[in-house]
Amino acid sequence: MGKKLKLGIIGAGRIGRMHAENIVSNFRYVEVKAVADIFADKIKAWAEELGIKNVYKDYKNILEDKEIDAVLIFSSTDTHAQIIIEAANSGKDIFCEKPIDFELDRIKQALDAVEKANVKFQIGFNRRFDHNFKRVYDLIQEGKVGDVHIVKITSRDPEPPPIEYVKSSGGLFFDMMIHDFDMARFLTGSDVTEVFASAAVLIDPAIGEAGDVDTAIVSLKFENGALGVIDNSRKAVYGYDQRVEVFGSKGCITVSNDTPSSAVLSSAEGVISDKPKYFFPERYKDAYIEEMKAFFDCIINDKKPIVTGRDGLEPVLIGMAANRSLVEGRPIKIER
Amino acid sequence: MGKKLKLGIIGAGRIGRMHAENIVSNFRYVEVKAVADIFADKIKAWAEELGIKNVYKDYKNILEDKEIDAVLIFSSTDTHAQIIIEAANSGKDIFCEKPIDFELDRIKQALDAVEKANVKFQIGFNRRFDHNFKRVYDLIQEGKVGDVHIVKITSRDPEPPPIEYVKSSGGLFFDMMIHDFDMARFLTGSDVTEVFASAAVLIDPAIGEAGDVDTAIVSLKFENGALGVIDNSRKAVYGYDQRVEVFGSKGCITVSNDTPSSAVLSSAEGVISDKPKYFFPERYKDAYIEEMKAFFDCIINDKKPIVTGRDGLEPVLIGMAANRSLVEGRPIKIER
Amino acid sequence: MGKKLKLGIIGAGRIGRMHAENIVSNFRYVEVKAVADIFADKIKAWAEELGIKNVYKDYKNILEDKEIDAVLIFSSTDTHAQIIIEAANSGKDIFCEKPIDFELDRIKQALDAVEKANVKFQIGFNRRFDHNFKRVYDLIQEGKVGDVHIVKITSRDPEPPPIEYVKSSGGLFFDMMIHDFDMARFLTGSDVTEVFASAAVLIDPAIGEAGDVDTAIVSLKFENGALGVIDNSRKAVYGYDQRVEVFGSKGCITVSNDTPSSAVLSSAEGVISDKPKYFFPERYKDAYIEEMKAFFDCIINDKKPIVTGRDGLEPVLIGMAANRSLVEGRPIKIER
Amino acid sequence: MGKKLKLGIIGAGRIGRMHAENIVSNFRYVEVKAVADIFADKIKAWAEELGIKNVYKDYKNILEDKEIDAVLIFSSTDTHAQIIIEAANSGKDIFCEKPIDFELDRIKQALDAVEKANVKFQIGFNRRFDHNFKRVYDLIQEGKVGDVHIVKITSRDPEPPPIEYVKSSGGLFFDMMIHDFDMARFLTGSDVTEVFASAAVLIDPAIGEAGDVDTAIVSLKFENGALGVIDNSRKAVYGYDQRVEVFGSKGCITVSNDTPSSAVLSSAEGVISDKPKYFFPERYKDAYIEEMKAFFDCIINDKKPIVTGRDGLEPVLIGMAANRSLVEGRPIKIER
Predicted local distance difference test score (pLDDT) of residue D2: 62
Three-state secondary-structure class, residue A271 = strand
Q: Give the DSSP H/E element, type plus range, for residue C150.
A: strand C148-156
Calpha distance B182→A212 (Å, rounded): 31
Nearest Cα residue in chain B from A204: B249
Q: Are A243 and A255 in contact (CB under 8 A)?
A: yes
Q: Is the pLDDT of residue B158 over 50?
A: yes
| Chains in contact with chain B (at least 3 beta-carbon pairs closer than 8 A) | A, C, D
Mean pLDDT over C201-221 rounds to: 97
The region, left, alpha or beta by phi > 0 then psi within -120 to 50, assigned to residue A2 is: left
Instruction: Tell me the CA distances in angstroms from C72 to A64, C90, C122, C124, D1, one per residue in order.
Output: 94, 14, 9, 10, 80
pLDDT of residue B70: 98
CB A292 within 8 A of CB A97: no
pLDDT grade for A41, boundaries at 50, 70 and 90 = very high
Answer whether residue D179 shows pLDDT above 70.
Answer: yes
| Contact across the interface for A238 and C268, Cβ inside 8 Å | yes
* For testing contact with chain A, the best of D25, D130, D267 (most A CBs within 10 A): D267
Closest CA to C178 of C141, C137, C218: C218
Asked if residue D160 has a cis previous peptide bond (ω within 30° of 0), the answer is no
Scanning B196-255, the segments in alpha helix (DSSP H) are: 205-209
- For residue range B19-53, what is the model confidence (pLDDT) as tens digits? 999 999 999 899 999 999 999 999 999 999 999 99
**Chain C: closest CA distance from residue D202 (Å):** 7
Please give the Cα distance from D302 to D120 (Å, whole number). 9
Rounded to 10 degrees, the C-alpha dihedral D47/D51/D53/D54 comes to -30
Return all residues near D138 (Cβ < 8 A) that are at least 6 apart.
none
Kind plus residue range of the DSSP H or E element containing C25: helix C14-26
The residues on D that touch B, with CB distances below 8 Å, are 236-238, 241, 259, 266-276
pLDDT for residue D75: 96
Let me know: does C150 contact D217? Beta carbons within 8 Å.
yes
Q: Distance between CA atoms of B251 and B150, rounded to whole angstroms?
A: 11
Distance CA D31, CA C283 (A): 59
**Percent of chain D scored above 70 by pLDDT?**
99
- The alpha-carbon gap from B254 to the nearest alpha carbon of chain C, in Å, equals 5
Work out the average pLDDT over C3-7: 94
What's the mean pLDDT when you consider all of chain C?
96
pLDDT of B1 reads 46
What H or E segment, with its residue span, contains residue B283? helix B280-283
pLDDT at residue C336, as a whole number: 83
Cβ neighbours of C155 (radius 10 Å): 21
C273 contact residues in A (CB cutoff 8 A): 270-273
CA distances from B251 to A204, A216, B146, B147, B152 (A): 16, 17, 7, 9, 14
Distance CA B69, CA B92 (A): 6
Q: Do A272 and C275 touch (CB under 8 A)?
A: no
Query: Nearest Cα to C248, choosing from A216, D237, A92?
Result: D237
> What is the tens place of the pLDDT at every residue in A171-187?
999 999 999 999 999 99
In this prediction, residue C1 has a pLDDT band, given cuts at 50, 70 and 90, of very low
Nearest to B265 among C1, C25, C251 (CB): C251
Indicate the SS3 state at residue D2: coil
On chain A, the residues whose CB falls within 8 A of the CB of B221 are 198
Q: How far apart are CA D209 and CA D68, in angstroms?
A: 46
From the CA atom positions of chain C, what is the Rg in Å?
Answer: 20
Please state whether the peptide bond connecting residue B160 to the residue before it is cis, i.e. omega within 30 degrees of 0. no
Environment class of C328 (CB within 10 Å of its CB; exposed 0-12, middle 13-18, buried 19+) = exposed
Region for residue B197 given its phi and psi (left: phi exceeds 0; alpha: psi -120 to 50; beta: otherwise): beta
Q: Tell me, what's the pLDDT at C2?
A: 62
Look at residues A238, A309, A313, A247 and name the one whose alpha carbon lies nearest to residue A279: A238
Minimal Cβ distance to B238: which of D236, D267, D276: D267
* d(CA C233, nearest CA chain A) in Å: 15
Instruction: Give burial (CB, 10 Å; 0-12/13-18/19+) of B149.
Output: buried
Indicate yes or no: CB of D253 within 8 angstroms of CB of A268: no
Q: Does residue D1 surpass a pLDDT of 60?
A: no
In a mutational test of the D interface, the residue from B235, B243, B266 whose CB has the highest number of chain D CBs within 10 Å is: B266
**What does the pLDDT average to over C271-278?**
98
Residue of A nearest to B147 (CA): A202
Q: Closest by alpha carbon to C312, among C56, C100, C62?
A: C100
List of residues 6+ apart from B268 with CB closer than 8 A? C250, C251, D237, D238
Give the pLDDT score at A278: 96
Omega into A315 within 30° of 0, i.e. cis? no
> How many whole angstroms separate alpha carbon C125 and alpha carbon C183?
9
Q: What is the mean pLDDT of residues C262-278?
A: 97
pLDDT tens per residue across span B77-101: 999 999 999 999 999 999 999 999 9
Helix (H, G, I), strand (E, B) or coil at D283: helix
Task: Give me the pLDDT at residue A200, please.
Answer: 98
What gap in Å lies between CA C233 and CA D149, rounded to an integer?
A: 9
pLDDT tens digits, D238-295: 999 999 999 999 999 999 999 999 999 999 999 999 999 999 999 999 999 999 999 9
Q: How far, in Å, CA of C95 to CA of D65, rounded? A: 82
Q: What CA–CA distance (Å, rounded) separates A6 from D305?
A: 41
Predicted pLDDT of residue B336: 83
Confidence of residue B214 (pLDDT cuts 50, 70, 90): very high
Pairwise CB contact (< 8 Å): A263 & D252: no
pLDDT, residue D324, reads 97
D177 close to D216: Cβ distance less than 8 angstroms: yes
Neighbours of D, requiring at least 3 CB pairs below 8 Å, are: A, B, C
**H helical segments located in D66-162:** 77-89, 104-117, 131-141
Return the H-helix or E-strand segment holding B315. Answer: helix B309-328
Report phi then psi at B216, rounded to 5.
-150, 145
List the one residue out of B164, B128, B126, B152 whose CA is nearest residue B232. B152
Cα–Cα dist B63/B87, whole Å: 6
End-to-end CA distance of chain B: 43
Average pLDDT of the residues in A182-194:
98
Whether the predicted pLDDT of A166 surpasses 70: yes
DSSP state of C28: T
Q: Which of D170, D128, D205 is nearest to D319 (CA)?
A: D170
Regarding an ipTM greater than 0.90, the answer is yes
Mean pLDDT of B160-189: 96
Which residues, other chains included, contact D96 with Cβ-Cβ below 8 Å and sequence gap of 6+? D72, D73, D80, D83, D84, D121, D122, D123, D124, D312
Chains contacting chain C through 3 or more C-beta pairs under 8 A? A, B, D
Is residue A28 predicted with pLDDT exceeding 90?
no
Per-residue DSSP letters for C277-321?
PSSHHHHTHHHHHHHHHHHHHHHHTT---SS-HHHHHHHHHHHHH
Q: Tell which residue, B197, B189, B253, B198, has the closest CA to residue B225.
A: B189
D229/C219 CB distance under 8 A: yes
The closest CB to that of A247, out of B226, B229, B233, belongs to B233
pLDDT band at A238 (very low <50, low <70, confident <90, very high): very high
Mean pLDDT computed over A243-270: 98
Give whole-number Cα distances, A296 to A18, A28, A288, in Å. 17, 12, 13
pLDDT band at A1 (very low <50, low <70, confident <90, very high): very low
Query: What are phi and psi for residue C328, nearest 5 degrees?
Result: -90, -10
Q: How confident is the model at residue D3 (pLDDT cuts 50, 70, 90)?
A: confident
Residue A131 is nearest to which of D253, D260, D267, comparing CB atoms?
Answer: D260
Chain A residue with the nearest C-alpha to that of D140: A265
Task: Out of A144, A250, A263, name the one closest to residue D255 (CB).
Answer: A263
Contact A207, B196 (CB under 8 A): no
Q: What is the mean pLDDT of residues C44-68?
A: 96
pLDDT tens digit string along C149-201? Answer: 999 999 999 999 999 999 988 999 999 999 999 999 999 999 999 999 999 99
For residue C85, pLDDT beyond 80 = yes
- How many beta carbons lie within 10 A of that of residue B132, not counting itself? 25
Nearest by CB to residue B25, choosing from C26, C254, C262, is C26
Higher pLDDT, D226 or B168: D226
Q: Which amino acid is at A314?
A: E
To test the contact with chain B by mutation, choose from D241, D266, D269, D274 the residue with the greatest count of B C-beta atoms within 10 A, namely D266
Is the preceding peptide bond at B99 cis, omega within 30 degrees of 0?
Answer: yes
Is the predicted pLDDT of residue B234 greater than 60, yes or no?
A: yes
What's the pLDDT band for B227 if we cut at 50, 70, 90? very high
Q: What is the pLDDT of residue D55?
A: 98
- What's the gap in Å between the CA of A132 and the closest CA on chain B? 16
Please check whether residue A251 is in contact with residue D265, taking contact to mean a CB–CB distance below 8 angstroms: yes
Kindly indicate the confidence band of residue D28, based on its pLDDT and cuts at 50, 70 and 90: confident
Contacts of B199 in chain A (CB under 8 A): 227
pLDDT cut 90: percent of chain C above it: 96
For residue C221, with 0-12 CB atoms within 10 Å meaning exposed, 13-18 middle and 19 or more buried, which class applies? buried
Identify from C25, C243, C267 which residue to disrupt to test chain B contact, counting B C-beta atoms within 10 A and taking the largest count.
C267
**D217: nearest CA partner in chain C:** C227
